[in-house]
Amino acid sequence: MYLKSILISAATLYSVAVTQIIDAETLTINVTNLTTTEGTVMVQIMQGEAQFSGAEPSITSIMSRATDAEMTFSTRLPAGEYAVRVMHDVNNNGEMDSNFVGMPTEPWAMSNNAKGNFGPPKWEEAMFELTGSVEQTLTLSK
């Protein structure tokens, strides 16, 4: 009985995983304007305003060593509203460095190349609808 239960659970998990892959949409993120191949490029994908504000953890994150002036990341996700945040952690300390007034000192970008006014952009400025294949080209700035 125990083995049968494990096999049914495994089959259910496999079925859910395959269904999620079939129903997934493709998000391609092109990151441009990397000024050095030092450090790590960190991509954070958030689904919904709660993740965007930091009240909940992001749906997924991707990290890669900086390799070129332009880098491309791709993932498959369920259809929905998303925002993307990218940071080039040049000194590899795992965080966004900022100056004494809180302005970032490392390159960063948001989906739709949204820019904030005296703070980060708002959800409405960075949000995009993921249906089918969507491509976001984000230009890093300081």
pLDDT of residue 102: 87
Residue 63 lies in a domain: yes
d(CA 53, CA 129): 18
Structure tokens belonging to residue 37: 């191949």
Residue 1 lies in a domain: no
Residue 115 lies in a domain: yes
Residue 10 lies in a domain: no
Contacts of residue 58, defined as CB under 8 A and 6 or more positions apart, other chains included, come to 44, 45, 46, 47, 51
| Residue 47: other Cβ atoms inside 10 A | 19
pLDDT of residue 22: 64
Per-block average pLDDT, block size 10, for the chain (142 residues)? 42 45 88 96 97 95 96 97 97 93 93 90 97 97 80
Residue 17 lies in a domain: no
User: What is the CATH number for 131?
Assistant: 2.60.40
Predicted structure pTM score: 0.81
Query: In which domain, by residue range, is 102 found?
Result: 25-139
Residue 79 lies in a domain: yes
pLDDT of residue 18: 44
Residue 71 lies in a domain: yes
d(CA 76, CA 88): 22
* Counted domains in the chain: 1
